[in-house]
Structure 1
Amino acid sequence: MNKQRLKAKIIKYFLQSCGSLSIIIVLLIFLFLFKEAFPFIGSPGIGELFHNIWNPVSFQKEEFGLFPLITGSVLVTILATVIAIPFGIIGAVYISEVASAKEREFLKPFIEILAGIPSVVLGFFGLIVIAPLIKDLFGLNTGLTALTGAVLLAFMAIPTIMSISEDAIKSVPAAYKEASLALGASKLETIWKVVVPAALSGIVASVMLGMGRVVGETMTVMMVTGNAPVISMNPFTSVRTMTATIAAEMGEVTIGSEHYMALFWVGIVLMLMTFSLNLISYRVLKKYGMIDK
């Protein structure tokens, strides 16, 4: 008995140590970002980050405005989420409530495999197939637009939304469905008027997690969005996201330069956005008992 208790305590302390280490690593990342970015506050000044132009390599005056990068990320994220939501939710409903056991056995692993496709492969597919298609379909000068990036990012977000939404739908008590059917509602009415509303909190959390996945994506958007740092909410224009900016420019800057420090501010804003989305998702799931309190 003593050996079992000792073994349980060792496992408990090991898991606690792993959890604590994860928190410490995240805090250290935040500290590192702020350490590298902090000197920018003194010179050229934090106000430079609130301009509308990002042009850090200008021969006249270097501009470090973050708004074009933030609006680019927000536009692509919103578009991708809007595209992914109907596919993710309808797919989750089908797998949970309509599909046979054999279909479910095939579809569930297939969706999880889709989530593992490398982003650079999707980017290459978008560059060769999706970009020309969007260019011809809408009569544009270029297919490298925010919409192109959103379509590919939606494809990456759908597995997350579908998987978590399906778990939320399956967690709805069977009594709800039985009561609805007993009152004369059809199976379709039961699904959309009883099951989906009852699972709404989990579905919302899945959407937030999908957005978190989208906002942090790098290679795909760098390859297909055109990388134009302009402020625009037009889905048919080229934009540049925060992730693409860091990936494209960090390898070429001089360590300690103003450009270098500005890129770390981009990283701070990006990390805060991702952290906020994940925190909201966690709070929603915890509130409605979908994870242990």
Structure 2
Amino acid sequence: MVRDDKRQFAKQHIVEEWVGKVYTFLCIALLIVTIFSMVYFVASRGASTFISDKINLWSFLSGLDWRPEGEPPLFGALPFIFGSFSTSILAAIFAAPLAICASLFMTEISPKIGRKWLQPVIELLAGIPSVVYGFVGLTIIVPFFRDVFPGQGLGILAGSIVLAIMILPTITTIATDALAALPGGLKEGSYALGATRWQTIWRTVLPTTLPSLMTGVVLGISRAFGEALAVQMVIGNAPHIPSSLFESASTLTSAITLSMGNTVTGSTHNDALWSLALILMAMTFIFVFIVRWLERRAKV
């Protein structure tokens, strides 16, 4: 009787294991098929601009004029590429020092106060919808720039500040995890040699966790690069390369969201917008590869 129970239990265990393996394999297969389908769909639609519509790739990437309805129509994507990169990089420049200092405060200087008060506030920022950020930027940041600086207040700087606030939780969370995972013996050894807390942070903690901190910064840039609505509300959406941070500009995401619904599927204008989406997706993949490379460096 006992042997029969053991055999039945073993059979049930084998069946459950196989069911779990099959379910996991199906989920992974579905995920892979979904990813490759999305990549193929965007790539095929984006490449049709250069294959079917006979638009020169270099002219598309380096052109300064975007006039889809002109005679002849012009599709120069460089202003959108410049706008996306400038706003994302400036946002990271603004947000990275604040995020790293906040993470140092929560892990090295005052963990109790930081974990109890600062971390919940920063995590709260991650749950706010992007339209709220855009509306706050439109009603506070843009009027402030309009009153203090020349111009209408709309421009790259306004978009960068809004994006900096949006990516602050991402960089802070990753930096905090990296600093918290640092071995305690490393800091204790620095203190044992007579170093102060600030010397330990500057010469030991930050150099050791630099690859992980840079991972957070790159992920923040990737997050800012793909943002659409918040930037669209404060950047001005003018398809040209601005000569000042206070002049209107546009980004890849803004150009796509503003024009995609007003184009005919299969038209040259529609295909050009899919090409912008292809550039956006390619840059996202590049950011992911950079993050993976930094993670491998952090493990060495």
| TMscore range, shorter length | over 0.9
Which residue of 14, 33, 38 corresponds with 2:47? 38
Give 1:57's aligned residue: 69
**1:194 equivalenced with 2:204 (yes/no):** yes
Give 2:115's aligned residue: 104
Which residue of 30, 36, 40 corresponds with 1:21? 30
What stretches of structure 1 of length at least 5 have no aligned partner?
none
**1:86 equivalenced with 2:97 (yes/no):** yes
**1:174 equivalenced with 2:184 (yes/no):** yes
- Measure, in 1, the Cα distance between the counterparts of 2:181 and 2:81: 37
Q: Percentage identity across aligned positions?
A: 34
**Residue identity matched to 1:234:** S
CA RMSD of the aligned region, Å? 1.8
Evaluate the alpha carbon distance shift between residue 107 and residue 142 of structure 1 in structure 2; reply closer, same or farther with a 3 A threshold. Answer: same
- State the Cα distance separating 1:282 from its structure 2 match: 2.3
Superposed CA offset, 1:46-65 (max 9, x none): 3441322111122x221111
- State the Cα distance separating 1:288 from its structure 2 match: 2.4
Give 2:195's aligned residue: 185
- State the Cα distance separating 1:141 from its structure 2 match: 1.7
**Residue identity matched to 1:258:** T
Give 2:226's aligned residue: 216
The TM-score, its normalising length taken from structure 1, stands at 0.92
What stretches of structure 2 of length at least 5 have no aligned partner?
1-8
- Measure, in 2, the Cα distance between the counterparts of 1:202 and 1:175: 19
- State the Cα distance separating 1:110 from its structure 2 match: 2.8
Whichever of the two has the greater Rg, that structure is 2
Give 1:133's aligned residue: 144
Superposed CA offset, 1:126-152 (max 9, x none): 000011112223x22210010000000
- State the Cα distance separating 1:5 from its structure 2 match: 4.7
1:6-17 pair list within 5 angstroms: 6-17=15-26
**Residue identity matched to 1:116:** G
Give 2:257's aligned residue: 247
Give 2:290's aligned residue: 280
Evaluate the alpha carbon distance shift between residue 216 and residue 11 of structure 1 in structure 2; reply closer, same or farther with a 3 A threshold. Answer: same
- Measure, in 2, the Cα distance between the counterparts of 1:170 and 1:237: 41
The total of aligned residue pairs comes to 288
Give 2:242's aligned residue: 232
Which is worse superposed, 22-31 or 118-127?
A: 22-31
- State the Cα distance separating 1:279 from its structure 2 match: 2.0
Determine if contact 1:75/1:235 at 8 Å carries over to the other structure: no
- Measure, in 2, the Cα distance between the counterparts of 1:252 and 1:115: 32
Evaluate the alpha carbon distance shift between residue 18 and residue 279 of structure 1 in structure 2; reply closer, same or farther with a 3 A threshold. Answer: farther
- Measure, in 2, the Cα distance between the counterparts of 1:235 and 1:287: 35
Determine if contact 1:83/1:154 at 8 Å carries over to the other structure: yes
Give 2:4's aligned residue: none
- State the Cα distance separating 1:156 from its structure 2 match: 0.8
**1:150 equivalenced with 2:160 (yes/no):** yes
- Measure, in 2, the Cα distance between the counterparts of 1:210 and 1:22: 24
